[in-house]
Amino acid sequence: MKEDIRRRERCRLCDSPKLELAVPMKPSPIADAYVPASRLGVPQALYPLDLYLCQSCGHVQNLDVVNPEIMFRDYLFTTGSSTSLLEHFRKYATDVISRLEIKPGSLVVEIGSNDGSLLKFFKVQGMRVLGIDPARDIARRATESGVETLPEFFNSKLAAQIRKDYGQASVFCANNVFAHADDLVDIVRGIHDILADDGVFVFEASYLVDIVDNFLFDTIYHEHVSYHSIAPLAKLFERLGMQLIDIQHNASKGGSIRGFAQRTRGRYPVQPVVGELMAMEKARGFNKLPLYQDYSRRIDQRKAALNDFLDGEIVRGKVIAGYGASTTTTTLMWNFELAHKLAFVADDNLKKHGLYCPACHVPVLPSDELYARRPDYVVILAWQYAAAILKKHDRFIKEGGRFVLPLPELKVLQ
């Protein structure tokens, strides 16, 4: 479907054509495109997911860009459904206001603002807030809840209009969406235009170093077109009249960064951590192909170990299930070729029950079905949450069931 996808020929950060395949991935469906039974007869497209390294600036990216209208206009996930995210954003707002000494009445703008959860925490501390999110229904409900939200994709043209209508922003936020946008150059230009002279751009994104070190390759899916490290971002900001001034490293999503950027020669000093992280990335070779070739080999080793084990048990007549129907699950199932080996996938999210996994159409069932159907092994597809899953289903193990942890190393828990 040519209208659904287009291919970049140049780096989205520096526009260089010097792009090399770094991490080959199997073509996959849209990660969160779980379908009801009524749509099982409708084929779902598979899209390329390979990652490429820019040999000029070191940025890692997916060059095959799925039409964002497909992925984001009817987005389902809402931030407010996660108590851990709500607490994260409560602390986030307090930290930013304190760290940057933001005065009441200042304008805070967020792109990818979802249901307005973060902006509500800024609002209760006296800030004016404006959200921007392309998910029409979520944007409407956010506005109805008291956080004005524009149902749009952010770009420099919209930034100029917002500046005219609302004034300049003291804080501009982008959380877990700065990896989603294809035209980052235009977005950063828009951010530069909308920021006050002493304003700050604050963003959170998964950190490429953690994706490699912690084996988070299943966070590679079509919503994410960029996999950020510090050096390429610093170059992008510098080229567009901005500067990266601080980085906080945190454990969110397996390893993330919170970055702070301002207009060039703004009021805040550049913190040493920016240079320190850039030096570390260079020393380890994050701007060179061999690091990613080695990463791909190690992924293949783990795939082979898991499949050798499962194939042996299936030959013995054992029944295998999965646990976790998330976006990362889709990447793991397709790249490890697990779909035809799983009888079903258990999940605790009521909204997923009765749906079928993207393209492979493995049924998603309530986790109680582990006890009704008694599979011999359950592969924890949502392996980052293994501790909580094991705690919740200790009874399954006591009654003879076994959980299989696929990453970061194969483990059979019994």
Position 177 pLDDT exceeds 90: no
Q: How many CB atoms lie within 10 A of CB 308?
A: 11
**34-53 average pLDDT score:** 94
pLDDT band at 46 (very low <50, low <70, confident <90, very high): very high
Position 76 pLDDT exceeds 60: no
Residue 50: inside a domain, yes or no?
no
Interval 136-152: pLDDT, tens = 999 999 999 999 999 99
Portion of the chain with pLDDT greater than 70, in percent: 97
Same domain? 390 vs 335: yes
Position 317 pLDDT exceeds 80: yes
Measuring CA to CA, which residue among 405, 303, 403 is closest to residue 414?
Answer: 403
**CATH assignment at residue 166:** 3.40.50.150
Same domain? 280 vs 310: no
State the pLDDT at residue 81: 62
List the single range of 5-9, 66-70, 291-295, 309-313 with lowest mean pLDDT.
Answer: 66-70
Position 23 pLDDT exceeds 70: yes
CA-to-CA separations, 11 to 5, 69, 147, 264, 265, in angstroms, rounded = 17, 22, 35, 23, 27
The answer to whether the beta carbons of residues 89 and 121 sit under 8 Å apart is: yes
Portion of the chain with pLDDT greater than 90, in percent: 86
Residue 14: inside a domain, yes or no?
no
Position 2 pLDDT exceeds 50: no
Residue 356: inside a domain, yes or no?
yes
The answer to whether the beta carbons of residues 223 and 330 sit under 8 Å apart is: no
Same domain? 229 vs 377: no
Tell me how many domains the chain contains: 2
Position 196 pLDDT exceeds 90: yes
Q: Which residues form the domain of 310?
A: 305-413
**The pairing of beta strand 256-263 with beta strand 242-250:** antiparallel
Same domain? 318 vs 206: no
Instruction: Look up residue 16 and give its DSSP letter.
Output: -
Residue 336: inside a domain, yes or no?
yes
Instruction: Look up residue 267 and give its DSSP letter.
Output: S
pLDDT band at 279 (very low <50, low <70, confident <90, very high): very high
Position 78 pLDDT exceeds 80: no
Is the pTM for the entire model greater than 0.85? Answer: yes
Between 111 and 351, whose confidence is greater? 111
**CATH assignment at residue 335:** 3.40.50.720
User: Which residue blocks in 79-229 are alpha helix, DSSP H?
Assistant: 83-100, 117-123, 136-144, 156-166, 184-194, 208-213
Residue 155: inside a domain, yes or no?
yes
State the pLDDT at residue 349: 87
Q: How far apart are CA 296 and CA 301, in angstroms?
A: 9
Interval 355-383: pLDDT, tens = 999 999 999 999 999 999 999 999 999 99
Same domain? 176 vs 147: yes
Sheet bearing 226-227, strands edge to edge: 19-23, 51-54, 60-62, 226-227
